[in-house]
Amino acid sequence: MEHVAELVRVYRPARAQDRRDRRRALDALRLRPGHVVLDGRPVRGLGWEHRAVVKADYRIHCVACASVVAKVCRDRLMERLHQRYPGYGWDQNKGYGTEDHREAILRLGATPHHRKSFAGVVASA
């Protein structure tokens, strides 16, 4: 039962952070879209009308294109972070929680760029 409580403790802040991040991204748009489609489940409290579609990046062409653009941007960010913090292997893992990356967090500690709600970061604190 303790394991379930720990998962809930980590999962709830991650959901709240996801909602804040999505809202911040939408609020930053220069042009307000007439229609918002999110990949995944509906986000309560988002503050934007939206339609959520599970696997939208496979089902809707413009979401698939946006997903590719987002991945390229993320990969470039990970390359820059690797130059600044080379011990975490961000050039290889692209920010995913690989075993090597988790070991680096335990060995070196979390950077300001690590999600504090990620279980590996919580464990290293």
**What six digits make up the tokens of 93?**
């893992």
Tens-digit pLDDT profile for residues 34-86: 889 999 888 888 889 999 999 999 999 999 999 999 899 989 999 999 999 99
Tens-digit pLDDT profile for residues 71-84: 999 899 999 999 99
- The Cβ-side half-sphere exposure at 21, using a 13 Å CA radius, reads 8
pLDDT for 19: 86
Q: Are 113 and 105 in contact (CB under 8 A)?
A: no
Backbone φ/ψ region at 44: left (φ over 0), alpha (ψ -120 to 50), beta: beta
- Residue 93 DSSP label: H
∠ Cα 49 113 32 (to 5°): 25
Residue 118, pLDDT > 70, answer no
Distance CA 65, CA 27 (A): 21
